[in-house]
Amino acid sequence: MIPQRRKNFAKEKKTVFTVKEADTLFNFVFAKMSSMSKTAVKSLLANRQIMVNDNFESKFDFPLKPGDRILVYCTSHKAKFTHSKVKIIHEDDHIIVIDKAPGLLSVATDKKEDLTAYKIIQGYVKKQNFQNQIFTVHRIDRETSGVLVFAKSKEVQELLQRDWQHKSHERIYYAIVEGYVEQDNGTITTWLTEDWKSKKVYSSDIENGGLKAVTHYEVIERNNGYSMLKVQLETGRKNQIRVQMQSIGHPIIGDKKYGSKINPLGRIGLHASVLGFYHPVTGKFARFESPVPKYFKLK
């Protein structure tokens, strides 16, 4: 009996195998589907895309005997994705890396705004398979544009979030700040605390029980009363760059929350340009980049 085409799946292709010797379902499918990772095979089982003798089966250790007929359903293409506020930079079996537009929340807040990067990408993966999910790894501020990564499984999320401060070996931002920063390069080390009522982060030059934050910067250009900075994060605290720029007397343009009084771009002048980390599954260093917006110019 051939099952009817299932709803909520992208176009599928079927692969049929016949078992020749006793094995478990997961081991058999993983050996046969040589191009697939273990996570991808687990996803097939979890999403009921594997049949044993015309019955869907999801148990990893389901026993197979010689003569059993295995039918594997795989999507033959990914759902198309286009959105004005999100661009997919990279996607594999384990992560999705996007380029987020300014003005878009990474994930929902207590106010539960309608549109977030998380909701957009969640909708995309569910077009491929309605049981697919994504998981938040980190966030960038609503007003900040640039690179953001999501995990495709809880396991991968936990691997990435475990000691994220050290695994994110490369985090580069570009910032336009008010005034001319005198030193061509420097390091800002402060301790950050958050006031839950005002939802603002405060910076202290002395250790005060807050979170230690370290930011390295290099002046790329000075012009028209502004400075363009290339910023490398050593730590990744909430609002870190924004509050530390204010602390040295050079708030980011457009950042009214942290002291800016001008807004020539119509947005905050902060862009998350590069994110590099060791891939949680392959172990290889992965580097993802979003170009600095063309309008980030000091005219």
- Alpha-carbon distance of 151 to 131, in angstroms, equals 15
Give the residue from 121, 131, 118 showing the smallest Cα distance to 83.
121
Overall residue count recorded for the chain in this entry: 299
Burial of 211 (0-12, 13-18, 19+ CB in 10 A): middle
Domains and their CATH numbers in the chain: 12-75 (3.10.290.10), 86-289 (3.30.2350.10)
Over its length of 299 residues, how does the chain's per-residue pLDDT go in tens digits?
334 444 444 455 788 999 999 999 999 999 888 767 788 888 888 878 899 998 999 899 999 999 999 999 876 555 678 899 999 999 998 999 999 999 999 998 766 667 899 999 999 988 877 778 999 999 999 999 999 999 999 999 999 998 776 666 899 999 999 999 999 999 999 999 999 888 899 999 999 999 999 999 999 999 999 999 999 999 989 999 999 999 999 999 999 999 999 999 999 999 999 999 999 999 899 999 999 999 998 77
Tokens in use for 176? 């336009």
**What pLDDT, on the 0 to 100 scale, is given for residue 9?**
45
**What pLDDT, on the 0 to 100 scale, is given for residue 2?**
36
What single-letter amino acid sits at 191?
W
Label residues 78-88 b or e (16+ Cβ within 10 Å = b): eeebebebbee
Burial of 21 (0-12, 13-18, 19+ CB in 10 A): exposed
**What pLDDT, on the 0 to 100 scale, is given for residue 167?**
62
- Radius of gyration from C-alpha coordinates of the chain: 24
Q: Which of 93, 141, 184, 255 is catalytic?
A: 141
Enter the pTM of the model: 0.75
Active site residue 163: no
- Alpha-carbon distance of 275 to 224, in angstroms, equals 30
Q: How many Cα atoms sit within 13 Å of 171 on the Cβ side? A: 22
Residue 72 neighbours by CB under 8 Å, 6+ apart: 14, 15, 16, 17, 29, 32, 33, 44, 49, 50, 51
